């Protein structure tokens, strides 16, 4: 019986996707940056990047207006697969129950099978972000429902959340972080895809930044190119490095790809400089 229900639910989600396509025209996202730290010089920073992803909780409507310019796209961050304990809406989600914890960040996994949990995200959290004047949203932790995870059964519910966000904000710019396994269902709901850890890799156990082995790097690039060709969506790359030597090696690799990229620390608490080739 549960398989019949799942099939019916999947058909419903696919039908919802077909009626909530993105209406945003493709654009140039280079240079772009991601910052979860508090940005001080708002107006200056807003003019440096064509796409800027920030931590929405740090800013008022007036500050968002200072960051947002006629020439950039400003996105507010939201996590769809888990929640950090400092979020204002954490108690609301805690009441609904969690499915374990992401030990790297000490953030509990959301039970997206719970309709109330999905409603909190779509009807309370997202409107709170968009009311501040953001151009759109950066959807993080999509990989929390990956096929290799214990939460893979939540994939239809993740698609449901994204479809409802698109329906609620048809003109918003939506960038999906990873989650390539869902692109066949989300391609019409989003405007671009961001991929992390392409040229480099961060080892959480050792707390070390590393250059990816050549074969792993080539495999990541091949995967990106395959999905770009299949779905026709713009891709962005976010890599992590500290120290001029590793940053230089990562830059040498990424400069050959013709894909917008940004290099930052794993905490994403500062903004990278804009290279002349990106301006």
Domain boundaries, the chain: 2-24+53-241+252-271
* Cis ω before 90 (30° cut-off from 0): no
- Structure-token match 């796409």, residue found: 51
| DSSP for residue 23 | -
In this prediction, residue 238 has a pLDDT band, given cuts at 50, 70 and 90, of very high
Quick one: tokens of 31?
Answer: 């240079």
Categorise residue 133: left if φ over 0, alpha if ψ from -120 to 50, beta otherwise.
left
Q: Could you report the per-residue pLDDT of 55-112, keeping only the tens digit for each?
A: 999 999 999 998 888 889 999 999 999 999 999 999 999 999 999 999 999 999 999 9
Q: Is 8 helix (H, G, I), strand (E, B) or coil?
A: helix
pLDDT attached to residue 25: 46
Task: Name the 3-class secondary structure at 7.
Answer: helix
Q: Classify the phi-psi angles of 147: left when phi > 0, otherwise alpha if psi is within -120 to 50, otherwise beta.
A: alpha
Q: Could you tell me which residues come within 8 angstroms of residue 208 by beta carbon, excluding any fewer than 6 positions away? A: 202
pLDDT recorded at residue 28: 74
Residue 274 has pLDDT above 70, yes or no: no
Task: Work out the pLDDT band at 19, boundaries 50, 70, 90.
Answer: low
Q: What is the mean pLDDT of residues 29-57?
A: 88
Question: Quick one: pLDDT at residue 279?
Answer: 44
Mean pLDDT of 170-177: 97
CB 104 within 8 A of CB 26: no
pLDDT score for 2: 45
Q: How many Å apart are CA 163 and CA 14, to the nearest integer? A: 9
What fold characterizes domain 2-24+53-241+252-271?
Answer: TIM Barrel (3.20.20)
């Amino acid at each position: 019986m549960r398989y019949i229900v799942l099939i019916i639910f999947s058909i419903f989600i696919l039908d919802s996707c077909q009626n909530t396509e993105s209406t945003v025209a493709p654009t140039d996202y280079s240079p772009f940056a991601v910052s979860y730290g508090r940005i001080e010089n708002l107006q200056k920073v807003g003019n440096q990047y064509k796409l800027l992803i920030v931590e929405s909780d740090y800013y008022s409507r007036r500050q968002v207006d200072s960051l947002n310019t006629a020439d950039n796209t400003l996105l507010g961050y939201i996590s769809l697969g888990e929640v950090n304990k400092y979020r204002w809406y954490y108690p609301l989600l805690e009441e609904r129950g969690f499915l374990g914890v992401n030990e790297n960040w000490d953030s509990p996994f959301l039970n997206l099978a719970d309709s109330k949990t999905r409603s909190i995200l779509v009807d309370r959290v997202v409107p709170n972000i968009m009311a501040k004047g953001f151009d759109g949203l950066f959807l993080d932790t999509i990989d929390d429902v990956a096929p290799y995870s214990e939460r893979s059964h939540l994939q239809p519910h993740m698609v449901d959340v994204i479809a409802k966000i698109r329906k609620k904000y048809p003109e918003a710019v939506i960038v999906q972080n990873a989650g390539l396994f869902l692109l066949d269902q989300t391609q019409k709901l989003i405007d671009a895809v961001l991929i992390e850890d392409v040229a480099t890799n961060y080892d959480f156990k050792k707390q070390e930044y590393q250059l990816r082995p050549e074969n792993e790097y080539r495999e990541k690039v091949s995967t990106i190119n395959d999905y770009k060709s299949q779905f026709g969506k713009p891709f962005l790359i976010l890599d992590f490095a500290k120290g001029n030597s590793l940053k230089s090696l990562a830059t040498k690799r990424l400069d050959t790809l013709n894909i917008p990229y940004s290099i930052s620390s794993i905490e994403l608490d500062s903004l990278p400089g804009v290279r002349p080739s990106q301006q």
